[in-house]
Structure formats: C-alpha cells, structure tokens
A = this chain, B = another copy of it.
Amino acid sequence: MSEIRKHYFLDEHCIIAFGRSKRPSAPKACGDEIQSTSCVFCKCHEDETPLATAVYKKGEILKDTDKQRVTGWDIRCIPNLYPALSPDAPEVEEAVFEAKKGFGFHEVIIENPLHENRLHLFSDDEILLLMKTYRDRVLHYQSQKGIKYVSLFKNWGKKAGASLEHTHSQLIALPIMPSSILKEKKAIEDMENCPYCRIVEKENGKERQVYENDAFILIAPYYSKSPYEMWMLPKEHVNHISSFSDNMLLSLGDCIRKAVSLLDNTIPELAYNYMFFQLEHDQSYHFNVRIAPVTSIAAGFEKNTDIYINTMPPEVAVKHLQEKE
C-alpha cells in the first residue's frame, strides 16, 4: 500500500510505502551449509517467493504458474515481496495536497541461482544473459499502460541499501517521469549538440578514463560527487537499451563487470549502487550507467545545498583503481 506524494510546490515526488518497513533489514550471510534454509533467492527455494514473472532457462523464457515453479533456471525475475509500487494500488483519499495512487511495478532480478556467485565473477555468457534480461524487462514494463519511466538499478551491500546478500538487481516502473531525468532532458533540449557525445570526445583515452572496450568507455567523471564514482558511456549516440545489439549488450556487461571488479580489488567488499539512465522515446538522450560506491555520507551541507564534497579527485581515483588491477 503506497502513494506518490508531490512536494508542496516543486515538481518532485516521494513514495510513501508503509508496507516496505516490514522487509528484512539486514543481509543474511549464508554459507553453503546454511544457504538451503536461509536465502529465498537461491535455487531450490523457488516456492518461498512470489510467482516468477519471467524465468530464463537454457535460452528459453518461461513463467511460474500456481501449479508449477520453474527450476534449473539461469536468471529469475519475481515481484518484490515488499513493493514500493504495485499494479493494484488503491485510489488515494482526497487530501489538501497533491498525491496519486502508488501504481507501478517493482521487480527483483535474481542474477544467478548460486548464492556465492558475484557479478565480477560472471562469465561472458552469464553477463550477456543478464544484459539481455535487463533489456527485456525494461521493455516489458516500459510498454505497460500508464508507465512513464522504468528505473533499473542494483544495490550491492548493506550500506548501499541491499536487504539480501544474494546478487540481484531491481526495477521500479513508475507512472511519472522522475525529476532527475526531466532536468537533464530539459537542459539537453536547449543545446545544439549532445553533451554526452562531447564527454565521450573529451574524456576518451584521457586521464580520467578507467577502461574502454568496443562500444563503451568507463570514466571517473570530472564532476565526481564521491570517491570512485564511475560513468559508463556508449561511444556512439544511442538513447535506450532497447536498440542495443547483442554485441553492444556484451560490451555494456563487460564494462559493468570491469567497474565492479576494479572496486572490489581496490576496497574489498565495498558497497555500491549502479543505475541506468535512458529515455525510450527521446532520441536526443544519450544512454549511460553510473556506479556510485558508498564511500562517503551525504551530510547537512549536501542536504542544504545539493553540492557534494568529494575528498578524492577523479584523476587520483583512476590511479588507485588501476594500480590494484
């Protein structure tokens, strides 16, 4: 049960989601022995979650039914048990201020059946399948009636907000355009050329570049809000994952895996979030993924000004990340 409340006078929103306070608050460490009784995301525990809406298994895409759960899967997509938004949200009672019902979808993408497998250890096949799943699921929800934006992200580690340890991503399909994306869209509309293409042009091969492959560059951005922040940008202008070829998906997956691996080498077990920024129906937008390791705290100054104090220049971060390789 939730509702989307508008700021008193700005075009900003928050989701009041009362039910989510019941979710597990701490990741449960579970080794091989105890895994079978503690982690609902592990294989052989399919009946401890809501019915899967999409199950990737040996090249096929299946679904759970009331009668049968798919086992032996590679990737499993399930509705979040404590959804921020849901398709059957009740109407909001009339209020003095603006709110709309908490309509939407909240899905968990279990990236691998094995508890001990982690993203930076994924094979090419595994990472490609994950990227294909991302593409499929974003497209699926993007085409649902009433959905304006699909937020795709991963929280890794308790400090990054992950309530379960087993490697997973999440997707929240929203009935509104988020202010973060609208702000960029508006700025880009006023510009002659794509600002992200300019970033690629200026940063590619230079001191803030961390890594590059066929289709992507990985940089520590000049404007870095925290130590080890990284951005992944396709070299060619493309607005949305829906138009990615399989080769491009593999390049993206390789870039994400690289970023995560460099972070883990530099500060073992570092918590992080990564987020997809894209716009399906706006060719002027330039797809990008940002990874934000949890290395600092947004304190009073940041909450007052929206200006972040970063104690590590990105030029130094690049050196740290690369020397541990």
Contacts and interface: CB of A to CB of B under 8 A. Distances in A.
B17 A309 contact: yes
Contact of A14 (B14, B95, B160, B308): B308
Contact of A15 (B13, B174, B198, B309): B309
Nearest to A308: B14
A274 to B, nearest CB: 7
A215 interface: no
Interface in A154-194: 154-155, 159-162, 170, 172, 174, 178-181, 183-184, 187-188, 191
Interface in A88-135: 95-97
A305 interface: yes
Chain A contact surface mostly: mixed
Contact of A308 (B15, B306, B310): B15
Given A10-B187, A153-B304, A222-B8, A311 B20 contact: yes
Among A304, A306, A312, the most chain B Cβ lie within 10 Å of the Cβ of A304
Interface residues of A, number: 76
Contact of A297 (B160, B179, B290): B160
A15 B273 CA distance: 21
Contacts of A276: 304
A305 B279 CA distance: 13
Nearest to A20: B311
Interface string A216-255: 0000011111000000000000000000000000000000
Contacts of A14: 223-225, 307-310
A243 B24 CA distance: 48
Copies in the complex: 2
A199 B98 CA distance: 13
B154 A300 contact: yes
A68 interface: no
A153 B303 contact: yes
Given A8-B195, A187-B9, A310 B15 contact: yes
Interface string A6-46: 11111011111111110000000000000000000000000
A156 to B, nearest CB: 9
A51 interface: no
A160 B299 contact: yes
A277 interface: yes
A84 interface: yes
A28 to B, nearest CB: 17
A62 interface: no
A149 interface: yes
A97 B5 contact: no
A84 B161 contact: no
A61 interface: no
27 contacts: A5-B222, A5-B223, A10-B184, A12-B223, A12-B307, A14-B223, A14-B225, A14-B308, A14-B309, A14-B310, A16-B224, A16-B312, A16-B314, A18-B312, A84-B301, A96-B222, A97-B222, A97-B223, A151-B305, A159-B297, A160-B299, A161-B297, A161-B298, A161-B299, A170-B301, A180-B306, A277-B304
